[in-house]
Amino acid sequence: MKNLLKLALCLSLLLLSAFAAVAETTRADLAKIRVGKEGNFKYWNPGSPALARLKTFVAEVTDPQSPNFVPVKDRIATFDVDGTLLCETAPYYLNWMLTCHRYLHDSSYTPSAEDKALMKEMEDYILANHGSRSEWGEIQPFLQQKAFRGMTQEEYAAYLEAFLASEPVGGLTNLKWGTALYWPMIEVISYLTANDFKVFLCSGVERDMCRILTKDIYDIPPYQMMTSDIHYVTAGQSALGEWTEKANMESYDYTPGERIERGDFKQMCTAANKIITMRRELGQKPILSWGNSTGDFPMFHHTNLDNPRPHISFCQLCDDTTRELGNPTKAEKCKNACEQYGWVPVSMRDDWATIYGPDVQRTDAAAVRPLKAAAADQPIYDLQGRRLQSVQKGLNLAEGHKTLR
């Protein structure tokens, strides 16, 4: 009997160990990743040249005796999001996959037949090519905002949190969108904030999406988001229809408790718009910037050209095709730019000891499993009627795009 009990206990332990080996990392787990002022990194390879450059720079600008010392008030760092902090290739950008889900797999939302057909074409193309057609790039933000127009900030946050918690990324096992964050980069931001840097996100990802993505994981306050943006309107302004000069200029009496709703798309924060956004919201140049693509090159130039303070830029290379869905052609282009302009290349393949932890593996499957559609009598929100009205009162997408861009 004792031997049987021992055998049963051993089998139980083996089963528990096997289960633990494939247990998905949670956002609570990611929130525990921390690096102190001294730089006790765990997820970077010890011999990483990029990590050495980062540590040297931080040591110089935080040492009052150093000629490169920078006061705390001027220790500003700007970071891109997609491909810098978050997976962007599984199979494509998060904001695109969220929009596909909303139009095609959410039974509580009823888009126009034209918009739904366009999104179906987009999703099919994305799943097959891990990318989109160039002509869709300017249309997508308007489609995305149209789909969520009329929600309050809190309602949108709840919707996004449910999506992030439930939707797996394509091409990587054991990973949801809400945990598709690069472990080494969580360490970088933790290290900078421990050394009194103010970290701002400067990204094409929408502002409220960035707030939810970073919540409880990074030490980045919600007001340090310099990202793509939308208009918010009162219910009274929303009743006028789309965002207009009249709604923008006229004064409205606010009734306590009146809804503040998502209105129209406002501005993308990509490429040169990153410089414009930093000029407007910072009023000075950052001393450190970090990105991963040609869309971040303007941010790097802005950081390094005519900067009166010590400065540095890091360009992340998507060169890992074993643990991630890398793009060697794009990585080589970024590496060449680093050599030309003196930016620091960061190799995801060579500099990082891990990307998402040991339990995430690359697969050949790129397909995205949509969230289980809500039953007709159980919408994700109890605002279905209002939301449909807000969509129906909108301009035709093509007209809105021409008017608002």
pLDDT at residue 234, as a whole number: 86
Whether 306 is covered by a domain: the verdict is yes
The C-alpha angle 335, 180, 14, rounded to 5 degrees, equals 120
The C-alpha angle 331, 336, 339, rounded to 5 degrees, equals 130
Task: For residue 131, give the DSSP letter.
Answer: S
pLDDT tens column, 77-105: 999 999 999 999 889 999 999 999 999 99
Whether 299 is covered by a domain: the verdict is yes
Same-domain check for residues 336 and 222: yes
Same-domain check for residues 101 and 211: no
Give the pLDDT mean for 240-244: 57
Same-domain check for residues 181 and 214: yes
- Among the residues of 198-249, which ranges form H helices? 207-214, 235-238, 245-249
357 C-beta neighbours (distance < 10 Å), count: 16
**Alpha-carbon gap, residue 318 to 89, rounded angstroms:** 10
The token pair at 404 is 């608002």
pLDDT tens column, 340-350: 999 999 999 99
Give the pLDDT mean for 229-250: 70
The answer, yes or no, to whether residue 337 has pLDDT greater than 90, is yes
Give the pLDDT mean for 229-246: 73
pLDDT tens column, 303-318: 999 999 999 999 999 9
Q: Report the percent of the chain where pLDDT is more than 70.
A: 81
Same-domain check for residues 274 and 341: yes
pLDDT bracket for residue 368 (50, 70, 90) = very low
Give the pLDDT mean for 326-347: 97
The answer, yes or no, to whether residue 397 has pLDDT greater than 80, is no
Contact 200, 77 (CB under 8 A): yes
Contact 271, 265 (CB under 8 A): no
**Alpha-carbon gap, residue 82 to 78, rounded angstroms:** 13
The answer, yes or no, to whether residue 250 has pLDDT greater than 80, is no
The answer, yes or no, to whether residue 210 has pLDDT greater than 80, is yes
Whether 249 is covered by a domain: the verdict is no
Whether 256 is covered by a domain: the verdict is no
Give the pLDDT mean for 8-34: 68
Max mean pLDDT range (88-97, 245-254, 331-340) = 331-340
Whether 80 is covered by a domain: the verdict is yes
**288-291 and 260-267 as β-strands: parallel, antiparallel, unpaired?**
unpaired
Same-domain check for residues 137 and 270: no
pLDDT bracket for residue 255 (50, 70, 90) = confident
- Domain holding 204: CATH number? 3.40.50.1000
Whether 318 is covered by a domain: the verdict is yes
Number of domains into which the chain is organized: 2
pLDDT at residue 7, as a whole number: 52
pLDDT at residue 277, as a whole number: 96
Same-domain check for residues 78 and 104: no
pLDDT at residue 253, as a whole number: 74
The answer, yes or no, to whether residue 131 has pLDDT greater than 50, is yes
The answer, yes or no, to whether residue 112 has pLDDT greater than 70, is yes
Contact 299, 275 (CB under 8 A): yes
Q: Which residue has the higher pLDDT, 19 or 262?
A: 262
Same-domain check for residues 197 and 215: yes
pLDDT tens column, 167-178: 999 999 999 999
Same-domain check for residues 289 and 306: yes
pLDDT at residue 23, as a whole number: 77
pLDDT bracket for residue 147 (50, 70, 90) = very high
Per the prediction, the chain carries an average pLDDT of 86
pLDDT at residue 393, as a whole number: 32
The token pair at 65 is 């005796």
Q: Which of 347, 364, 384 is the last residue of a domain?
A: 347
51 C-beta neighbours (distance < 10 Å), count: 22
pLDDT tens column, 284-301: 999 999 999 999 999 999
Give the pLDDT mean for 45-65: 98
Q: Would residue 189 be called left, alpha or beta, if left means φ above 0 and alpha means ψ between -120 and 50 degrees?
A: alpha
**Alpha-carbon gap, residue 292 to 188, rounded angstroms:** 15
pLDDT bracket for residue 405 (50, 70, 90) = very low
pLDDT at residue 221, as a whole number: 97
Whether 356 is covered by a domain: the verdict is no
Same-domain check for residues 78 and 112: no
Same-domain check for residues 197 and 103: no
Going by C-alpha positions, the residue among 238, 240, 229 that lies closest to residue 260 is 238
Same-domain check for residues 132 and 275: no
Whether 9 is covered by a domain: the verdict is no
Same-domain check for residues 107 and 44: no
The answer, yes or no, to whether residue 365 has pLDDT greater than 80, is no
Domain limits at 312? 35-88+174-232+261-347
